[in-house]
Chains A and B, each alone.
Chain A
Amino acid sequence: MSIEAIHQVSGTAVYVPGADIDTDRIIPARFLKCVTFDDLAEGLFYDVRFNAEGEPVGHALDDSRFEGASVMLAASNFGCGSSREHAPQSIYRAGFRAIIAESFAEIFFGNSTGIGMPCVCGSAQDIQALTLAVEANPQLSVTINLQVMKVSYGAESFPITMPDSAREALITARWDSIGELLENAAAIEQCAESLPYV
């Protein structure tokens, strides 16, 4: 299985406001009625972007200045709540390739790494400064470099963190773990047999 190593992600950015953004907010439950992930971009943040009549209410994601953004900026505990992979999938399918936040909920983080969309943590101050820079210049190119664990934009840069194993998986093209898991078939059989149940 050929998967790509992800050393860095570059693109324009958009800030999605609010702490503790849960996966119900990222994609409301009614959009989960599907048997493939293909059309999920449509439901992304739907209830905070549109009113009851389906008219846009002026969310950053609908602001034409940020059109084409591929880096999402967020606050703390991003992606909490349900384990639904529909959430990172909808973000990915809407064109995003990385998220910078103060912190991430664990399952969301793992789901994102698993589809090759790095989630990195920066300090509140650094993210705020970046947000201001992006608001001032929406065309600003933001680069997340996983090799040196830095975000850079214009003349600025700041350090970011990510668990070693996830970083390793992304930069060595092992973020989709299926290949490696399949390789250890013998060890799996052995473990299955040694287990005292089923």
Chain B
Amino acid sequence: MKDIVIEQYSSIIMGKNLYQKVWDEHAVGVLADGRTQLFIGSHLIHEVTSPQAFGMLRDLGLAVKFPHRTFATVDHIVPTDSQEQPFEDPLADAMITELRKNVAEHGITYFDLASGMQGIVHIVGPEQGITQPGTTIVCGDSHTATHGAFGAIAFGIGTTQVRDVLATQTLAMEKLKVRRIHVSGDLRPGVYAKDVALHIIRLLGANGGIGYAYEYGGSVFDGFTMEERMTVCNMSIEGGARCGYVNPDQTTFDYLANRPYAPKDTEWDNALLRWKSYASDSDAEYDDVVDICAADIEPTVTWGISPDHGIAISEVIPDPEKAKTPEERESVLEALEYMKLPAGEPIKGTPVDVAFIGSCTNGRISDFREVAQYLKGHNVAEGVTALAVPGSQITDAICKKEGIDKIFTQAGFEWRAAGCSMCLAMNPDKLKGDQLCASSSNRNFKGRQGSPTGRTVLMSPLMVAAAAIEGEVADAREVFEVSDQKESPHPRSLN
């Protein structure tokens, strides 16, 4: 009791951040081990991490407590050359059959292949308006952090926790610390949200965010579209932070208006008032604050096997001999050996075999629109396989309506159906041997893209397009003549 009084008292002295507000509103109680029992507003599931959870429920004889708070789709194992069933891979087919059985048995909303709304779970949630400010959202997938772009507390969970949420709509959670990451000034032309994410991870490290929620703010985030905010929040986990968020504002509300699951009519007005109240108070307390100057951010690419192995496109590949510690030397050596890249040489000019535009980081409509604006009149270099994989069926449909798919295919890209695809290659889209892939996805781990010796270089979608055209890692600003003088042909407001 005393603790509660002290907390209320202290909240009078200083403001609260969004994380604290949402946490307090969703706290059901305190468990015996000291963790909080946190209520989960919306639960997203997919075929890879949910079947075992439903199995555990069955073993325990438990039901799904609030079926209307869970939403399902299928993304990881879906083939993208054709979504027709049966899939060639019987295991993949068994997984989708299992998901269908589970959602039918428990009365869960499911965006299936035939719905026209299927896609990567982190693209579907926002698209449908399920992702809303001030909510708690979980999914058995670490990139659930994406939904934080709307001012939700959203984080990835394991399968045993998926079971907990299905059975109780709650989780045993430890409260995180909150780090405010403030990016001020203006991004230079040709620098994208992806570069901001890679830059932050490079600065703070792949484990820098352990124990923290990241609150992103400053003029760069204020000016960002929802989709750009999602790109950065998505990669919070690559920086070790379990969740990342941006305070909700007019941009958030405009995105949500008229989405299928967004509140309507008078409910909308009430929701707006409420949503605004979740934003961090101007005098909110943070455990830590990091200031970043937008002008310092260049188009960024990775050279190694961890997302914090990032360098500006103009920089050279690190030299292990210049490492500051023996551990750093070891880690650079290991990365270079795997990547088969020369120390001290420019990253620009590294030959590329595959180009991949897609994933929950950069497979949204704005990503394809942006690239399409520049791609006209260019051709994918000989010998390069280039894949464009929309993150959802809705994204695919809009691209087709706007003729964007044609621009990609005319340039030599293969236009595929919606899914995770080569982001982690659980479907047939895989690197072969030690192929090097210029990728708009989020992880450059060893073997991530389907070949145990495959190599991944992370970058923004426009940089992937530039790499596809040049057949090597290139500076998109040069390839597409993006200069300080020239306005982006695609104004942000249209995204």
Interface residues of A (CB under 8 A from B): 1, 18-20, 22, 24-25, 28-30, 32-37, 47-48, 52, 76-77, 80-86, 88-89, 103, 105-107, 110-111, 114-115, 163-166, 168-169, 172, 174, 176-178, 180-182, 184-185, 187-188, 190-192, 195-198
Contact = CB atoms under 8 A, between A and B. Distances in A.
- 4 closest residue pairs by CB, A with B: A111-B158, A83-B156, A85-B158, A35-B51
Given A84-B159, A107-B156, A191-B27, 5 more contacts: A47-B452, A83-B157, A111-B160, A187-B28, A192-B66
Contacts of A190: 28
B160 A35 contact: no
A24 B446 CA distance: 8
B210 interface: yes
Given A20-B206, A29-B450, A80 B240 contact: yes
B424 A24 contact: yes
Contacts of B403: none
Given A20-B306, A29-B424, A177-B164, A168 B32 contact: yes
Contacts of A163: 174
6 contacts: A25-B445, A85-B49, A114-B158, A177-B164, A178-B164, A188-B37
Interface string B147-174: 0000000001111110110011111101
B102 to A, nearest CB: 10
B98 A180 contact: no
Nearest to A34: B91
Contacts of A20: 206-207, 306, 331
Task: Give the residue among B34, B52, B55, B426 with the most A Cβ atoms within 10 A.
Answer: B52
Contact of A28 (B48, B60, B77, B452): B452
Contacts, number: 209
A191 B446 contact: no
A85 B139 CA distance: 12
Interface string B395-412: 000000000000000000
Contacts of A76: 207
Given A76-B207, A82-B142, A105-B240, A165 B35 contact: yes
B157 A184 contact: no
Contacts of B62: 182
A184 B445 contact: no
B400 to A, nearest CB: 29
A22 B442 CA distance: 13
A36 B31 contact: no
Given A20-B306, A29-B424, A115-B160, A196 B33 contact: no
Interface residues of B, number: 81
Nearest to B132: A197
Contact of B211 (A22, A106, A115): A106
B223 interface: no
Contacts of B416: none
B274 interface: yes
A138 B172 CA distance: 38
Nearest to B50: A35
A178 B60 contact: yes
A196 B135 CA distance: 9
B466 interface: no
A178 B39 CA distance: 14
A30 to B, nearest CB: 7
Given A24-B443, A33-B426, A177-B31, A188 B170 contact: yes
Contact of B32 (A25, A32, A174): A174
B84 interface: no
B95 interface: yes
Given A35-B55, A106-B211, A84 B48 contact: yes
B329 interface: no
B448 to A, nearest CB: 5
A58 to B, nearest CB: 16
A198 B171 CA distance: 18
A114 B60 CA distance: 16
B168 A182 contact: yes
The listed residue with most A CB atoms (<10 A of its CB), out of B134, B144, B306, is B306
B136 to A, nearest CB: 9
Contacts of A111: 158-161
Interface string B279-312: 0000000000000000000000000001000000
Contacts of B426: 29-30, 32-33
B423 to A, nearest CB: 10
Contact of B334 (A18, A81, A89, A165): A18
A195 B39 contact: yes
Contacts of A182: 62, 167-168
B419 to A, nearest CB: 13
Contacts of A52: 452-453
